[in-house]
Chains A and B, each alone.
Chain A
Amino acid sequence: MSLLKVRSLHVRYAIAGPVKAMIAGLTSRYIDAVIDVAFNVTRGSTLAIVGESGSGKTTLARAIVGLTPIAAGTIEFGGRNPFASGGGGGRAYHREVSMMFQDPVSSLSPRRTVQALITEPFIVHAMKDRDLAAEARRLLALVGLPHDFASRYPHQLSGGQARRVGVARAIALNPKLIIADEPTAGLDVSVQGEILNLLARLQGEFGLTYVIITHNLAVVRHVSDVAAIMYMGRFVEMGPTAEIFARPAHPYAAALIAAQPHPDPGKRRTEPALMGEVSSLRNRPSGCEFHPRCSKAKDVCRRDAPPPTEPGPKRMVRCHFPLVQNRA
C-alpha cells in the first residue's frame, strides 16, 4: 500500500524578473529543477533517489516536505493532499513526515544543547505536556548515544555522532516517513555503516518508510528496495534496486553504475564510462536531455523526448533505445 504518491510533479525557480528577462532576451525566465516526476512509496519500504549534483534530488525532497513551492503536480500522503486548504493539514503532515538534512553539523544550531535540539519538535508542535528530559533520554537511547550527550553542544560531536543526533530529531514525533538527504555524505566508510544500520534498525522497529537521497550507488544497492535515477530534473529510470543494478535499462543508469570506482585493483577500467558533463539547466538539450553524452543517441533522441516505457515489471525508463526490452 502506498504511503506517498507523487504525480507529474514540477518545480521551477525564477532566475530573472520579467523585465530583466525581456531585456536579456531570455526565452524563459525559469529553470526547471524537477520535471514530471511520478512515483509511489510503499509503506515500510525504502526508495532511493540517485543522481549527480544539480540533478534536482534535493529540490525534489524539499518539494515533498513543502519547503519549496510546487509549480504543478500532486502529492498524496496516506490518501490525502497534505497541503489542501482548510483543516490545518500541513501541520499534521509535518508531524508524520520529517526530514534529515545534508551536513548535520551545520543543520544543528551551534548554540543549543543536544537535548534542546532533539526535543525542539515537541515545542514546535505544541506538545508542552511532554517531559522533555525523559524524551531526550528515550531518543538518545534509540539512536545509540549515551544519555549524558544531552548536555553537549554540536561542536563537541564527531561527524557520526552529529548524524545520530539528526536521526534522533527526525524520529522524535514518531513520523511515518523520513526523507534523508545524503545521510552518509562526508562520513568515513567505517562510520557510514553505523548510520545505515541504525536507519535499518529503526525501520524494522517502527515500520518507517524512507526516501533516501544520495549520489553513492554502493549505498543504494544495500539499503533501498526501489531506486530512481534522476538526470536534469527527470526520473530517467525507476524500478526494483536489484533489477536496476543487474540490468540497467537507461544508458545513463548503466554509465553511472559503471563509473563507480571498485575497491579492487583487479577491476580497473581503461576508459571512463561517460564523457562530458551535465548540460546546463538554462539551456536544456532538445529531445532526450541525455543525448549529448549518450553513445547510443540517434536522430530521434535529438528530436523527441522519450516517453516513459516499461522495460519490465514495476520498471520505468525514459529512453528511445533502452538496454533492456520488455519481453512481452
Chain B
Amino acid sequence: MTGDVLDIRGLSLRFDTQQGAVHALRNIDMTVPRGEIVGVVGESGSGKSTLALAVMRLLPGNAVIASGTIAFCGSDLLKLPEDEMRAIRGTRISMVFQDPMTSLNPVRSIGWQMADIQYRDRAASAAQKRAKSLEALQGVGIPDAASQLDRFPFQFSGGMRQRIAIAMSLLQKPELLIADEVTTALDVTLEAQILHLLRELRKNINGSILFISHNLGAIAEICDRVVVLYAGEVVESGPVGEIFNRPRHPYTKALIACDPARIETVTRELPVIAGDVPNLHRIPEACIFAPRCPVAIDRCHTERPADVMAGPSHRARCHLVAGGPA
C-alpha cells in the first residue's frame, strides 16, 4: 500500500444531457496522502462537487466515467461492486455537506440518527451506540451533549448543526473525510470555529481530509496541499505555501489576486478575471484558460498544455511554466 489514502489518475467524466455531452472533469490527477488535508479550490462550475461525488460514487445516472481510476487505499473504487462500495461509504470514507439542515433528517432526533448510522455494528447494544454518539458530540464541542441527543435538527443553530454533521461523519473513524463547502453557509466567527475543529480532529483521528471550498482564506487556513480546479481540469497543484506564495499558473495567480482579503491597500478598482467560464460541451484543442488568460501566446490557443513539474510535488498545466515533465 502506498502512503496515499486517495489516488486519482486520469479521471475523465461527462454528463450526457439532451443538449449533448458536458465534459465536467477531464484527465484529473490528484492524491490525498495519509493524514493530510488536501484542499480543492475552484469557482462555481469548476467540477469540485462532481469530483467529490465521483469518489463517493454518488453521481447521478447520466454521469459516464470515460476513463481513469480512483484508488482508495490501493483498490479502485470504480471497479468495486455496489455492495462493497456501500460498506465503504460512511464507514471508511464519509462526507459532510454544505447545508446540514438538508443532510440531517428533520423528523428524527440527533441521537436516533447517530445510532442509526452505526447499524453495521451488530454486536453493540442501543446503550453502547448512544454512549458512542455522546462521545462523538462531546468531541466536536457540543455543550451539554447528553441532553442534546434527544433534540431535533431544527432546535440547533447552523453552527451546531454543522458540528453534529461532522460528529456523525467521524463516528466510524473514517480514513478519508470529504468536506464539501462545509463553512460556506456559516458566519465568519463560526467558520473560524469549524476550521479550528477540523484541524484539531485531524490530530486526534489521524484521518485525511479532502477539503472542498471556493474560499481561498479557508483553504489557506487549514490545508497542507492545494489542488486548483478550473472548468474541470486541475490547472495547478502543490503544497499550500507554494500555491499561495509562488503560484505558477496564470489562473491561480489571477484568482489569488482577485481576493479582496489579499489586497492590502484599499482600492475601489478591484481586480477581476475578464471573460466567462468556457462552455463544457465542446472542449477546444487548446489550453482551457487561454481565452481569459492575460499572458496567453499563440501556442496556448492551438495546443493543449501538458503538466510540468514547477517544483518538488508542484505541478502546473501551462505552456509558459518552466519545469521538467510530470
A273 within 8 A of B: yes
Closest to A189 in B: B258
B297 within 8 A of A: no
As a 0/1 sequence over residues 250 to 262 of chain B, the CB contacts with chain A under 8 angstroms (1 = contact) are 0000111011111
CB distance from B235 to the nearest CB of A (A): 14
Q: Are A189 and B188 in contact (CB under 8 A)?
A: no
Chain A residues with Cβ below 8 Å from B271 are 193
- A160 and B28 CA atoms in complex are apart in Å by 28
Q: Of A159, A242, A278, which is in contact with the most chain B CB atoms at under 10 Å from its CB?
A: A278
Q: How many A-B residue pairs have CB under 8 A?
A: 130
Q: Are B214 and A188 in contact (CB under 8 A)?
A: yes
Chain B residues with Cβ below 8 Å from A275 are 193
Chain A residues with Cβ below 8 Å from B190 are 52, 277
Chain B residues with Cβ below 8 Å from A191 are 272
Q: Are A259 and B245 in contact (CB under 8 A)?
A: no
> A interface, how many residues as a size bin?
35 or more
With A222-B268, A263-B244, A265-B220 as known contacts, state yes or no: A188 contacts B44, CB within 8 Å: yes
CB distance from A195 to the nearest CB of B (A): 9
- A273 and B223 CA atoms in complex are apart in Å by 19
Chain A residues with Cβ below 8 Å from B263 are 222
Contact among A188, A196, A259 for B191, CB-based, below 8 A: A259
Q: Are A221 and B266 in contact (CB under 8 A)?
A: yes
Q: Of B221, B240, B245, B271, which is in contact with the most chain A CB atoms at under 10 Å from its CB?
A: B221
Chain B residues with Cβ below 8 Å from A145 are none
Q: Are B220 and A193 in contact (CB under 8 A)?
A: no
Q: Are B189 and A52 in contact (CB under 8 A)?
A: yes
B276 within 8 A of A: yes
> B interface, how many residues as a size bin?
35 or more
With A188-B44, A263-B259, A277-B160 as known contacts, state yes or no: A53 contacts B220, CB within 8 Å: no
As a 0/1 sequence over residues 209 to 251 of chain A, the CB contacts with chain B under 8 angstroms (1 = contact) are 0000001111101110000000000000000001000000000
Closest to A220 in B: B260
Question: Which residues of B206-220 have CB atoms within 8 Å of chain A's CB atoms?
Answer: 214-220
- A188 and B258 CA atoms in complex are apart in Å by 10
Chain A residues with Cβ below 8 Å from B160 are 277
As a 0/1 sequence over residues 183 to 200 of chain A, the CB contacts with chain B under 8 angstroms (1 = contact) are 000001111111011001
A268 within 8 A of B: yes
Q: Are A261 and B217 in contact (CB under 8 A)?
A: yes
Question: Which residues of A51-70 have CB atoms within 8 Å of chain B's CB atoms?
Answer: 52-53
A272 within 8 A of B: yes
Question: Which residues of A137-192 have CB atoms within 8 Å of chain B's CB atoms?
Answer: 158-159, 188-192
Q: Are A193 and B191 in contact (CB under 8 A)?
A: no
Q: Are B193 and A261 in contact (CB under 8 A)?
A: no
- A223 and B157 CA atoms in complex are apart in Å by 31
Q: Are B189 and A218 in contact (CB under 8 A)?
A: no
A7 within 8 A of B: no
Q: Are A266 and B261 in contact (CB under 8 A)?
A: no
Closest to A46 in B: B268
CB distance from A267 to the nearest CB of B (A): 8
Q: Of A190, A194, A277, which is in contact with the most chain B CB atoms at under 10 Å from its CB?
A: A190
A255 within 8 A of B: yes
Q: Are A223 and B188 in contact (CB under 8 A)?
A: no
Q: Are B188 and A215 in contact (CB under 8 A)?
A: yes
Chain A residues with Cβ below 8 Å from B261 are 218, 260-263
A274 within 8 A of B: yes
Further contacts, 20 of them, CB under 8 A, given A189-B216, A190-B258, A268-B220: A190-B43, A190-B273, A197-B269, A215-B188, A222-B263, A222-B268, A222-B270, A256-B188, A261-B188, A261-B215, A261-B218, A261-B221, A263-B219, A263-B220, A264-B245, A269-B196, A271-B196, A272-B193, A274-B189, A277-B160
Q: Which residues of A contact B (CB under 8 A)?
A: 52-53, 158-159, 188-194, 196-197, 200, 215-219, 221-223, 242, 255-256, 259-269, 271-275, 277-278
Sample of 27 A–B contacts (CB below 8 Å): A52-B188, A52-B189, A53-B187, A188-B44, A189-B258, A190-B258, A192-B270, A193-B272, A197-B268, A197-B272, A215-B188, A218-B260, A218-B261, A221-B260, A222-B263, A261-B191, A261-B215, A261-B220, A261-B261, A263-B244, A265-B241, A265-B245, A267-B220, A268-B220, A272-B192, A273-B189, A274-B189
